[in-house]
Amino acid sequence: MKILTKDFKNKIKEILIKDKSILISGHHNPDGDSLGGSLGLAHLLKNAGYDVTVMMPSNMPEYLEWMPGADDILIYEKGLTDKVIEKADIIFFVDFNAVSRTENAAEALKNSEAIKIMLDHHPQPSDDAEFIFSDTKVSSASEIVYEFINMLGFSEYTDKNVATCLFTGIMTDTLNFSVNSSRPETFEIVSNFLSFGIDKDAIYEKVNNNFSLKRLKLIGYLLYKKMKAVSDYKFAYMLISEKELNEFDFRDGDHEGIVNMPLSVSDINVSVLAIEQDDFVKLSLRSKGDYDVNLLARKYFNGGGHKNAAGGRIYKPYEEVEDYILSSVKDYFSEN
Ligand SMILES: [Mn+2]
């Protein structure tokens, strides 16, 4: 466990006084880990008698709306939520390494005088928080939240809700335990969660088999009509325009998992999904083994993330994006 702050445990214990108001923030477009880690921590701190609010910078995907506590999440709105941020004494950042990852909420979070605690597993944590509890070796931020709870001696406040939320974070970030889950500790933690009576199979079902028929047709269309592969670089990519998105009633969260599909081909090691938005083209990048899409996203696509999963943006007209992706990837692979 990498603690980047001296005397972390004692200082946190000094800070966490019961009458302080605590805000927990996930990142923009929150995924299962950011929501699971935030809600799990919130349930635990509430059980321990703290005043806690959870905020997300933008809406959560529909397939995670069932999570315990999801109904009480504040979705950031300029002005309205700024007051809540201003009032907070302590703010937790869960599953992100820089405040810019909260997009619209970033300014208010930056301006807040609250003490900030980062619980994360992304590489290169920024100094946007005074206290940083971060490790790239663990499966997820939810696992870090669990370690944090343990370190503080708060495990006795774990209940089924805490276990359900943190389990969901670990399950989703490891793509159902297929990646980033080779440490025995991850399964020890999951084993502990099962002892709280969580319904593992139902959680899997709700997260993975909860999409619309239109989304399945979109996947078919993308794989059959849109996917292109560059065999020299074992690289596949798909571009989708706003017009096409509208044809398939595309909703937040619908693209989840699609970018991984080309990696099921033995000869594809890197996959990119590019989605046209109003002011830029949004990229999801995935890879297998030692292929590092974090570096690729940082160098060419105004983004970053993990070695095998990253995101980015291209600020160019949609028509120019394909050429830009191809030349960037060629450039990157000829250098590395
Ligand atoms: Mn994560």
Distance 10 CA to ligand 1 centre (A): 26
Count of domains for the chain: 2
- Domain CATH for 17: 3.90.1640.10
* Confidence category of residue 256, pLDDT binned at 50, 70, 90: confident
pLDDT digits over 198-224, tens only?
999 999 999 999 888 988 999 999 999
Residue 335 pLDDT grade (very low, low, confident, very high; cuts 50, 70, 90) = confident
Q: What's the CA-to-centroid distance between 228 and ligand 1, angstroms?
A: 28
With cut-offs at 50, 70 and 90, classify the pLDDT of residue 1: low
217 shares a domain with 95: no
143 CA to centre of ligand 1 in angstroms: 9
Based on the fold, state whether residues 290 and 180 are members of the same structural domain.
Answer: no
269 and 204 co-located in one domain: no
140 CA → ligand 1 middle, Å: 5
Q: How far apart are the CA of 322 and the centre of ligand 1, in A?
A: 28
Type of residue at 174: T
Supply 168's token pair: 């969901």
At which of 162, 178, 208 does a domain end? 208
- Angstrom distance (rounded) from CA 232 to CA 170: 34
CA 147–ligand 1 middle distance (angstroms): 15
20 and 162 housed in the same domain: yes
The percentage of residues in the chain with a pLDDT greater than 90, rounded to a whole number, is 87
Q: What is the pLDDT of residue 279?
A: 93
Task: Give the model's pLDDT for residue 126.
Answer: 93
Shared-domain flag, residues 160 and 293: no
320: which 2 tokens?
């120019």
Q: Are residues 193 and 230 in the same domain?
A: no
Give residue 76 CA to ligand 1 midpoint distance, Å: 20
Task: Tell me: pLDDT of 94 over 80.
Answer: yes
Are residues 183 and 292 located together in one domain of the fold? no
Phi, psi of 323 (to 5 degrees): -60, -40
Q: For residue 298, give the CATH number of its domain.
A: 3.10.310.30
124 plus 251 within the same structural domain: no
- Say whether both 143 and 108 belong to one domain: yes
Single-letter residue type at 176: N
Q: pLDDT per residue over 28-47, tens digit each?
A: 999 999 999 999 999 999 99
Domain boundary among 191, 208, 225: 208
Taking the centre of ligand 1 as the mean of its atom positions, its distance from the CA of residue 144, in whole angstroms, is 10
Does the pLDDT of residue 293 top 80, yes or no?
Answer: yes
Q: How far is CA 23 from the centre of its chain?
A: 18
pLDDT for position 122: 94
- Ligand 1 center from residue 26 Cα (angstroms): 10
Rounded to 10 degrees, what is the CA torsion of 71, 35, 310, 260? -70
Using the mean position of ligand 1's atoms as its centre, give its distance from the Cα of residue 214 in Å. 27
Q: What is the mean pLDDT of residues 153-165?
A: 97
Give the chain's mean pLDDT. 94
Pairing outcome for strands 281-287 and 270-276: antiparallel
Confidence grade of residue 7 (pLDDT, cut at 50, 70, 90): confident
Per-residue pLDDT reduced to its tens digit, 56-91: 999 998 889 999 999 999 999 998 999 999 999 999
Q: Is the pLDDT of residue 254 over 80?
A: no
Query: Do 26 and 147 share a domain, yes or no?
Result: yes
Q: Are 319 and 303 part of one and the same domain?
A: yes
Domain of residue 282: give its range.
Answer: 213-335
Do both 198 and 160 map to the same domain? yes
